[in-house]
Amino acid sequence: MASISGIRGESVTTGQPFLREPLARMNYHMLTDVFITRYENTPVWASFDELTRRFMVQAGKLLTEQLFPFYVDGNENKAAKATLQKLHDTLAMELGIDPLSALYNGGYRYPISDILKNFLQRPYEQTESADVFIKRRISLVELGFREFERNVKAANAALPGQLAELRKETPLYELARSLKVSALSEEFSIKHNKVLNDALRENMEELNERFRQAKFPLAYHNGFIQLSSDTVISNEIDKPFWALVSGERWKNVERDMLEAVDRRDNKGRDPALYAAKALESAIKIISGEKGWTRGNENGAAAYIDNLISQKNGRFTEVWEGEALKAFFSKVRNPLGHGPGNEEMPELTTQQDDWAIETCMSWIKSLIRRL
């Protein structure tokens, strides 16, 4: 293969290093949590088959035609182009492969959309690890959906301020209203925001269905792709749980539960402890928002008492409070404190699954009562 002065990347045909001309890029990078890093030591795929090949084509279309359409009415979409370049540069940094696929075909330079598609669709060769090969590409999909979801959440957070500005009686807005300029109307802003949220929901549903069709044991939610092997649990517990905790209000609940799931999937230590932390955070948030927190609570049990208090209207029944307290005393406390000279407490895989699913169910039930 001919050499071109530049920085190393991954060959489109062999996966071996080749030299290339540098890409224009941002000057600074930060460590990014990507699928392949989280699941580096957890084998997922033993082979690359036709279903996997088909998924990679579909993933390319999801990223470059649905989430971030590179062309709109035949013209380059500058915002999408910049975002796709950002996705490329972020993954290239994490994988140590730059560029992700060839920049040129003869004298023709590929647009960034094609560079990413070519990376996803590069033919698999048996000399490579199928597991690593697929994880690299799943990482790109994860980054793309995470970026789109981040944009939607930012738009949701900005909407109240936008509506407040549109309600102000300024000459510009009065003129816009009289001329019926829809882009400056409350109705337009609300509809536009709904379109964004509908697009996120529909694309997430499609991605998870594509995973199912490809027989990938995966599910996407809240910016992360994680292992998911039980369809019933995923549909009845996981999916509604992640939807409920997606807002800023529940960010600590979301963060600890993501950690719990990752630790379970990668056989890390004490996933149930992080699930319990997520449940405790939810209880504290509810107690605080309802005005029941006194400030002298010394543990989860005291916050549970706030929920079951008759004075507070019995947010939960007494028997529910007893069940919650039993979970913290029998599961969380032994894992959360040093055992001294005694045997280190450790749950089985099945017990970790139960603890995570139990905490998800409790959190989901408590939030729905608000």
pLDDT means per 10 residues, the chain with 370 residues, are 34 36 42 90 94 97 97 94 97 96 95 98 93 98 97 92 78 62 73 94 96 94 86 73 90 93 88 94 96 93 95 95 93 80 81 93 95
224 closest CA partner among 77, 78, 356, 33: 33
Distance CA 12, CA 277 (A): 45
Asked if 240 and 214 sit in the same domain, the reply is no
- Phi first, then psi: give them for residue 261, nearest 5 degrees: -65, -45
- Say what the pLDDT of residue 239 is: 82
221, 238, 262: which is the final residue of a domain? 221
Asked if 304 and 235 sit in the same domain, the reply is yes
Q: Provide the whole-model pTM.
A: 0.72
Domain of residue 183 covers: 1-221
Asked if 4 and 134 sit in the same domain, the reply is yes
- Say what the pLDDT of residue 180 is: 60
Asked if 200 and 82 sit in the same domain, the reply is yes
264 closest CA partner among 178, 200, 356: 356
- Say what the pLDDT of residue 163 is: 85
Q: Which two tokens stand for residue 330?
A: 């029998």
Q: How many domains does the chain contain in total?
A: 2
> How many CB atoms lie under 10 A from the CB of residue 336?
15
Asked if 260 and 189 sit in the same domain, the reply is no
Asked if 210 and 308 sit in the same domain, the reply is no
- Say what the pLDDT of residue 285 is: 97
Asked if 147 and 214 sit in the same domain, the reply is yes
221, 255, 283: which is the final residue of a domain? 221
109-138: b (≥16 Cβ within 10 Å) or e: ebbbbbbbbbbbbbebeeeeebbebbbbbb
221, 246, 271: which is the final residue of a domain? 221
> H helices within 180-220, ranges in order?
186-213
Asked if 216 and 241 sit in the same domain, the reply is no
- Say what the pLDDT of residue 231 is: 65
159 φψ region: left (φ > 0), alpha (ψ -120 to 50), beta (else): alpha
Asked if 69 and 154 sit in the same domain, the reply is yes
> How many CB atoms lie under 10 A from the CB of residue 271?
26
- Say what the pLDDT of residue 140 is: 98
Asked if 317 and 297 sit in the same domain, the reply is yes
